[in-house]
Chains A and B, each alone.
Chain A
């Protein structure tokens, strides 16, 4: 692995001399390493052997097997009384300090120093170790090996977190761009002041925000402080709540629970469904989103009933059990239970408690203050990328419906074109969110054709009770999020530029009609519809429009498609 070694051509006249010098160096190195390996083979543990190992490791601190040999020798010497731990440690610390000067990023080297610290019978001088770390960080204040070693020493020596926090401040004052030091603060501050320290209006929270602001006022293009600032603002994760309960008709009725965010832990112990015959086995709840990225979480959960009473009562328990990704448990909405008339489709929508809305507003003072700081910067530098982006992050939490957000993301497309994909996703998400805000939850159809959407997620579960969905004419990158369309019987994805369907629709229980006309589907149905044979979708689909996709107008293609979706009418 070569890093930062400029390839220079040595002038021909000097090349012979250079090559001779390199050859001599290689020869000396190889002879030394060979001798060290030989003495290990021979089991030597005399001064000459140790000296050879020392020389070899000085030339190359990554010879891990020789570090191992060295430790074996030292352990044997201390065990038979030939050497004292304190003397041994003194030699090893001086030796590693010397090696670190020329090779400050050798994992093996740093680990040898840890080994010395943990030697039986040795009492380390931790203050001296911290001093060494200080010197090394003076030379390179981003050396993560050194920072890790410092944390190891501070932890072992029980250095107060407050002292380490002061140290990071010194480092930051010397160089605002020291991301390593900002990072360390992100671990120390919650340990000292509790996990929600930034949201409090205490003096240390205010001081911390002032520190970050002075950093980004000084270096508005340096991302270190901005990344840290984003963390200080918090991620505004509203706790999960139940938003709707849905019953879907079918040979066996299906019950769906819809939550405000993806959750895990939906199980019979957390959900009471009555009346069910006493002989019924416990309901098996399954996540609608089950792809590799879902990680067991889903905003929509489904269970198939083996009975169909005229009415059904569903009650969901709050408290531990059902929780979002960050571990926050389900909170109480106005109603946590629903009465549904079977057979469906039937939906009970649960509205947000006014109290909850008030709790969310508590953070808004902090956000408003930080928004003002961004605006101040933007007055001076209207194109400052990080100020624009941070303003957008804050507005997403403070006022997600604000039209300013569209302006900000559009501006960022120009200012920061490398991350255009990120901003396009944000604009697409906003378009869908705006349409969802206008959507009447009692309406069973939703249409957003040719709106420039590039993705469907992440809030598609707001459409879990819609039966007819139209996303035609949107250049969709993939169909992630479509898992939530559990009530859909008709879905229009024509002219969306799709190359393959993926498995996002695979588990939709009642989808009968799918329009894929005028896409760019892979001409081999086995590729375009990979993973769908035998799925619930294959069992429910009765109409599939594939017109306008190259290769799908042949009888052979029709046969191949029918093999995947056996209920299609010919």
Chain B
């Protein structure tokens, strides 16, 4: 995958606060290429430990930053990939996540009160990975996500907010984990997601917007859970993702010719695997973890993938 972030560029430093997620994207991306041994795990796990706040029971985006649900999920995902969940104080983290649930079933991201269905997904996924879903009111969490459903079958960040492919992924995966698939109109949403494919082959996140590789992952995750991936053109989408790869660094950008980053690289790789491209490790679209990790944790498989495409990615 090559050098994924250049420390000499400004962009490296302005994403400092979300380094935890950066590590997760890198590690999960390597796992998708079956190349986890390319990065030594010890320093990464040490970094994860250093971002833990034992008083709160959550993880920060970087050393010296504040605890947030977003980075707590990333930390747990990293530990899960390395089979190191023992490092996590599951009781403390579960109590912290539970403390963020509101009376209407929603979740705030931290004590500062921002509500978003992204955080509902973070909460449900974190607790599912730790086997601690009993720590929260799952039915209330499902009901809140369902209340964010829109006229087009998609979901937004809060009730009344516009549908967005990233938010659709969070909500559909959250409902899959929480047993709330009855709240999804599979056909309407599956079709709306298929309509995200634009003439160049890539997927946009909302109607009449530009395509972007990261939506490949979010939309393919949702269509895999809904069993509707076959409603779009897998070959054209594969070609688009590959056209976003930069041949100098090997990384993948949002669009052809743009700067690459680790976020789009992971989502590109994971998307290709969900399209049925051979030679890649399947990333489970519900937990956003390699299939084998999810299997090891004894979690159910809540998605389906189409038959393999003819061309392998080697």
User: A residues bordering B, Cβ < 8 Å?
Assistant: 1-7, 19, 22-23, 25-26, 29-30, 33, 37, 41, 59-60, 62-65, 67-68, 71, 107, 111, 114-115, 142, 144, 147-148, 151, 177, 179-180, 183-184, 186-187, 222-224, 227-228, 231, 235, 264, 292-297, 325, 417-422, 425, 477-478, 480, 499
Contacts and interface: CB of A to CB of B under 8 A. Distances in A.
A418 B197 contact: yes
Interface of B: 8-11, 13-18, 60-61, 64-66, 68, 110, 112-114, 116, 150-152, 156-158, 160-164, 176, 180-186, 188, 191-192, 194-195, 197, 206-210, 212, 214, 226-227, 230-233, 236, 246, 253-255, 257-261, 263-264, 300, 302, 304, 307
Given A151-B161, A292-B176, A419-B197, 15 more contacts: A3-B212, A7-B259, A22-B8, A25-B10, A64-B66, A68-B112, A179-B162, A179-B207, A223-B208, A293-B227, A418-B232, A419-B194, A419-B232, A421-B230, A480-B227
Given A7-B259, A115-B113, A227-B192, A148 B161 contact: yes
Nearest to B237: A418
**Cβ-closest 9 pairs across A and B:** A295-B182, A186-B151, A295-B181, A421-B230, A65-B65, A418-B233, A422-B231, A231-B151, A65-B66
A147 B160 CA distance: 10
Nearest to B303: A292
Contacts of A67: 112
Contacts of A177: 208
The interface centre, meaning the residue of B207, B254, B263 with most chain A CB atoms within 10 A of its CB, is B207
A325 B184 CA distance: 9
B186 A148 contact: no
A296 B182 contact: yes
The interface centre, meaning the residue of B158, B181, B197, B302 with most chain A CB atoms within 10 A of its CB, is B181
B10 A64 contact: no
A1 B160 CA distance: 27
B13 A26 contact: yes
Contacts of B150: 183, 186-187
B257 A422 contact: no
B212 to A, nearest CB: 7
B259 A2 contact: yes
Contacts of A25: 10
A478 to B, nearest CB: 8
Contact of B10 (A22, A227, A296, A478): A22
B259 A65 contact: no
29 contacts: A2-B11, A2-B261, A4-B255, A5-B258, A6-B257, A7-B259, A7-B260, A26-B8, A29-B10, A29-B13, A59-B14, A64-B68, A65-B61, A68-B66, A107-B114, A151-B160, A151-B161, A183-B152, A184-B162, A186-B150, A227-B195, A264-B182, A292-B176, A293-B186, A294-B181, A295-B184, A325-B185, A418-B233, A478-B227
B171 to A, nearest CB: 14
Given A7-B246, A71-B112, A183-B163, A64 B258 contact: no
Contacts of B227: 293, 478, 480
A4 B258 contact: yes
Contacts of B186: 293
B65 A325 contact: no
Contact of B253 (A2, A23, A65, A417): A2
Contact of A142 (B183, B185, B209, B254): B209
B17 A499 contact: no
Contacts of A30: 13
Contacts of A41: 64
A64 B65 contact: yes
Contacts, number: 179
A517 to B, nearest CB: 21
A322 B255 CA distance: 49
A182 to B, nearest CB: 9
A231 B152 CA distance: 7
Contacts of A223: 195, 207-208
B14 A292 contact: no
A187 B232 CA distance: 29
Contacts of B18: 62
A7 B253 contact: yes
B224 to A, nearest CB: 12
A68 B67 CA distance: 11
Contacts of A60: 14
A183 B15 contact: no
A64 B197 contact: no
A295 B162 contact: no
B270 to A, nearest CB: 15
Nearest to B15: A1
Contact of A421 (B195, B208, B232, B259): B232
A422 B236 contact: no
Nearest to B164: A144
A421 B231 contact: yes
Contacts of A418: 194, 197, 232-233, 236
A325 B153 CA distance: 13
B231 A2 contact: no
Nearest to B197: A418
Given A418-B236, A421-B232, A295 B180 contact: yes
B218 to A, nearest CB: 13
B137 to A, nearest CB: 18
Contacts of B152: 183, 227, 231
B188 to A, nearest CB: 7
A111 B112 contact: yes
Contact of A111 (B114, B214, B233): B114
A228 B152 CA distance: 8
A25 B113 CA distance: 33
Given A64-B66, A151-B161, A422-B194, A3 B254 contact: yes
B158 A148 contact: yes
B60 A2 contact: no
B158 to A, nearest CB: 7
A183 B156 CA distance: 11
Given A22-B9, A23-B8, A180 B162 contact: yes
Nearest to B154: A183
Contact of A235 (B65, B156, B188): B188
Contacts of B183: 295
A179 B204 CA distance: 13
A67 B231 CA distance: 43
Contacts of A187: 150-151, 160
Given A144-B162, A179-B207, A7 B181 contact: no
Nearest to A477: B230
A293 B162 contact: no
